[in-house]
Amino acid sequence: MNNKKSIRIEMKEILSRLPKASYEDYSQQIAGKLYEDHDWKQAQVIGITISKSPEVDTYPIIRKAWELGKDVVVPKCDPENRMLTFRRITDFSQLETVFYNLLEPIENVTEPVGIDRIELLIVPGLAFTREGYRLGFGGGYYDRYLLNYSGKALSLAFEEQILPQFHIENHDIPVSKIITNHEVIKIK
C-alpha cells in the first residue's frame, strides 16, 4: 500500500473507528508527553493547528499554552497560492470557519507572526514513519512552509498513525520528533 491517496483513505477509516473515549484518553496522554518535552518548555511562540477530527485534540494544548503565558499562532491558508501564514490568537472567538470546515484566524482581529518568530511548530499529518516523514492531508501547505522554517518541528499522532513506510518524495521534510500515546520518537 504505497499510494498516498489510498493511505489517506485507509488512515481516515482507521481513525474514524477509534472510540470517543479512546480518542480523548489518547489525546490527553499525548498532550501530557508534550508538556514534559524540552522543546515545548523552551518555546515561547508555538505554531499549532486547530484540530479537527480525527486529528489529536489540540484545544487543551492551546489552553495550556495560554495558561503558561505562551503565544499561540495558528495557520491561515491561502488556497490560491497554497501557502500558509501564521496569526496570533488569544482566544477561540478569534477563529472563523473556512473551506473544508477548517477553523482559521480572523484576519482583522489577529496579527501575523513571521516564520522566524515561531520557536516550535506542531506539524499535523495523517500518517508518519519512524524517520519523521509525514503524509499530510494533500494540500502540500506544510511541505512548502517547512522549506523556510528553521525552528523546532514535531508532530502529534496516535500510535495507529505510525506506519513502517510509505513513498517519500524529494520535497518531503521530516519532523525531528513524533509524540504518540505510547512513546516519543526522536528522529534527530
| Domain range summary for the chain, segments of one domain joined by + | 4-186
Is the Cβ–Cβ distance between 128 and 155 less than 8 Å?
yes
Query: Using alpha carbons only, what angle is made at residue 184 by residues 28 and 25, rounded to the nearest 5 degrees?
Result: 15
- For residue 120, give the nearest of 17, 35, 183, 55 by alpha carbon: 35
Q: What is the 3-state secondary structure (H, E, C) of 55-71?
A: CCCCHHHHHHHHHCCCE
E-assigned strand segments in the chain: 45-47, 71-78, 83-89, 95-97, 103-105, 111-113, 120-122, 127-128, 134-135, 152-156, 177-179, 184-186
**Per-residue cell: 106:** 480572523
pLDDT in the model for residue 44: 98
pLDDT in the model for residue 2: 52
Q: Which pLDDT tens digit goes with each residue over 24-72? A: 999 999 999 999 999 999 999 999 999 988 899 999 999 999 999 999 9
CATH number for the domain whose boundaries are 4-186: 3.40.50.10420
> Which stretches in the chain have pLDDT values below 50?
1
pTM as predicted: 0.94
